[in-house]
Amino acid sequence: MKQVYLRVALDTPLDSTFDYRWTAQEEGGINADLPQIGQLVALPFGRQEVVGLIMDVVSETDVPPAKLRDVIAVRHELLAMNKEWLALCQFAAEYYQRPIGEVAIPALPRNLKAIKTVSLQRAIKKLAKLPEQADVSPLGEPQLNPEQQAAVDAVAQAEGYAPHLLFGVTGSGKTEVYLQTAAKVLAKTPDAQILILVPEINLTPQLESHIRARFPGLMLSTLHSGMAEGERLLHWLAAHTGRARIVLGTRLAMLASLPRLKLIIIDEEHDPSYKQQEGLRYSARDLAVWRARQLSIPILLGSATPSLESWQGAQTGRYRLLELRERAVQRAVLPIIRIINLEREKPSEGLTQRLTAAIKLRLEKGEQSLLFLNRRGYAPVLACDACGWISNCTRCTAHLVLHKGDHRLRCHHCGLEQRIPRSCPTCGNIDLQPLGRGTQRMEESLALLFPEARVFRIDADSTRLKGSAAAAFERVHAGEVDILIGTQMVAKGHDFKRLTLVAALNPDAALFSQDYRASERLFAQLMQVAGRAGRAAQKEGGNASEVLVQTRYPDHPLYHALMSHNYPDFAKDLLDERQQAHMPPFMYQALLRAEAKELETAITFLKEAALCTEHQGIMINDPIPMTMTRVANVDRAQLLVESVSRPALQAFVKAWIADLRAMKSRVRWSVEIDPVDI
């Protein structure tokens, strides 16, 4: 038999694949199966043993024989990853300028990469024991309204690659469109797989139960980062073998292996959490669109406030626009949005009188109120009136946030924790004051103000324990809560039935953010949270649904657009602005970030970086410190490069990364394509 070498991708930043020697003897004799492209293989790497992915099987190698190492074992028990999946990883690797191994290997469940195969064996056995489920018929489909029906038909009847943007106001029944579109695709192709993405783990249980009820005869897989590793492997394997017919997950599910994928659905497609913010900084939405094109299948992007990128796509005809203009439930109408001018109506404990009165009305009728405050903790800062001391983090450009319950000052960026000082560290004053208010403080004030009400808080602190978030939302759904206070966690997707009042307590900060995307995000967030109100039919004698926004800037155009529920006009204005200012989506961007102990070092590196590569048609901006310059004792700076041509930018970045590597600087740096946080 001829000598065989495996060309393998490994999860290392070194930009290449690695060759290994494979011999039949190692694999149990002459009859051993030849390794295949797409199989996983255990290998020695340095002094470790790792798992790699076979990218090619070749008969010659440039590696000198003395340096060649033998594979340990090919994972024959696992079906090879198919070529479409490999192509997806290859595309992501090229697009985001990463070695293929840094894309493909992290996309696999951790237990699959263990050197011992016990977990894999166990998962395979477990999957084999599950009953065969292949009944694609949906149960209890409600009658769609004409707009929903038109949307379902458009997607289900589309041939080949067909991107659709489902623009539907909150409560317009987008979920029903997803489910019935899925049903049609399954009816047409009975062995089809369907991928449904949601932005937050917290939204999976709600949708999961809808899907299970609708398709009791099909296997459903869920994939998100909150799962135990064993469970994750089982669900991944169910998808990989084609047995899971519907796969529901967060952004990481975008890189799942789905050999029979026939439809992709992305709920709340505008949501920033579809963008991975570390490591491979990919956009799951963008990859989804690529994957749909590659597979020639339809993709449905749904939102009440589409991303400007997608909206622009629909305007130019790249995406087909489907609209749902009204709420699906009879007599459920969009809430009335009112602005409360904080300059005129002074709040007490964060609440204006009008808001307090509105909450009272809800309590009287047994309805729920939701207060949205995107700031967790008790107070954002502790201060001394006498000398001006404030609780700054010693390691970051940030304040230590006061957490009263566990008597801590805590940095939300580096995790630094201190006990709350009894007196001012500089002047000894014992009368330290919390400044501003977070969700904990609001919870406390609300409990004092409405002693008869059941006040409940949902934020990252209150839901730290596994499973506690699901339980918390369950309490709200079950009607055990009268006043809910929460961060953006409560704003998304949930279909609360008894909620008739939503209030945004203090949304202004985002209006003046340096990040040009902040207003787009704020608008989406407020529309989302407003959309939690009045989703059920208004009760006889009940309160009309209402949204109150407390602001110092009542005349801001964003709030005006919000009041009229007019996303299209708002989007048009923003797009015009972006076009004039040469910003995305009319411009393509990449960001070079640098980190060093001293800001100067990072800036100097970026200045050199700006000069190190020839460029044409590329605009290189000046290096600047990041808005939050210091995190965990590291200073951070960035350099933005832009071009009107994506290919030109891609070509430049590729050459640039090579040059940057050659600089061998001690500064830590990374390049991000299509950055969203600038």
* Footprint of ligand ADP (CB under 6 A): 142-145, 148, 168, 170-176, 328-329, 495, 535
Look at residue 613 and give the partner it binds from ligand ADP, Zn ion, none, a contact being a CB closer than 5 to 8 Å depending on partner kind.
none
Residue with Cβ nearer Zn ion (266 or 382)? 382
Cα–chain center distance at 677: 13
Interaction mask 362-391, Zn ion, x per CB under 5 A? ----------------------x-xx-x--
3-state secondary structure 388-427: CCECECCCCCCECEEECCCCEEECCCCCCEEECCCCCCCC
Query: Kind and range of the H or E element at 547?
Result: strand 546-551
Q: Cβ 255 to ligand ADP, closest distance in Å?
A: 25
**3-state secondary structure (DSSP) of residue 576:** helix
30-to-27, 72, 77, 144 alpha-carbon distances in Å: 8, 16, 18, 61
Look at residue 142 and give the partner it binds from Zn ion, ligand ADP, none, a contact being a CB closer than 5 to 8 Å depending on partner kind.
ligand ADP
Look at residue 504 and give the partner it binds from Zn ion, ligand ADP, none, a contact being a CB closer than 5 to 8 Å depending on partner kind.
none
How far apart CA 674 and CA 290 sit, in angstroms, is 15
Residue with Cβ nearer ligand ADP (185 or 328)? 328
Residue from 429, 621, 650, 670 binding Zn ion (CB under 5 A): 429
Q: Cβ 471 to ligand ADP, closest distance in Å?
A: 21
Residue with Cβ nearer Zn ion (338 or 395)? 395
Q: Cβ 676 to Zn ion, closest distance in Å?
A: 23
How far apart CA 487 and CA 492 sit, in angstroms, is 10
Residue with Cβ nearer ligand ADP (89 or 198)? 198
The end-to-end CA distance of the chain, in Å, is 56
**3-state secondary structure (DSSP) of residue 200:** coil
Residue with Cβ nearer Zn ion (389 or 586)? 389
Take residue 351 and report the two structure tokens written for it: 């609440």
Alpha carbons within 13 A on the beta-carbon side of 6:
29
Q: Cβ 376 to Zn ion, closest distance in Å?
A: 15
Cis peptide before 163 (omega within 30 of 0): no
Q: Give the closest residue to 642 by CA, choosing from 587, 586, 603.
A: 587
Q: Which residues contact 346 (CB under 8 A, 6 or more apart)?
A: 352
Look at residue 413 and give the partner it binds from ligand ADP, Zn ion, none, a contact being a CB closer than 5 to 8 Å depending on partner kind.
Zn ion
Interaction mask 388-427, Zn ion, x per CB under 5 A? -x---x-xx--------------x-xx-x-------x-xx
Residue with Cβ nearer ligand ADP (265 or 503)? 265
List the alpha helices (DSSP H) in 326-387.
353-365
Residue with Cβ nearer Zn ion (61 or 397)? 397
Q: Cβ 206 to ligand ADP, closest distance in Å?
A: 9
Look at residue 384 and give the partner it binds from Zn ion, ligand ADP, none, a contact being a CB closer than 5 to 8 Å depending on partner kind.
Zn ion
**Does residue 102 contact residue 12 with C-beta atoms inside 8 Å?**
yes
Take residue 225 and report the two structure tokens written for it: 């980062």
Tell me the sheet residues that pair with 301. Answer: 165, 266
- Asked whether position 228 contacts Zn ion by CB under 5 A, the answer is no
Sort strands 668-673 and 408-410 into parallel, antiparallel or unpaired: unpaired
Look at residue 429 and give the partner it binds from Zn ion, ligand ADP, none, a contact being a CB closer than 5 to 8 Å depending on partner kind.
Zn ion
- Asked whether position 533 contacts Zn ion by CB under 5 A, the answer is no
Residue with Cβ nearer Zn ion (332 or 424)? 424
Residues that bind Zn ion (CB under 5 A): 384, 386-387, 389, 393, 395-396, 411, 413-414, 416, 424, 426-427, 429
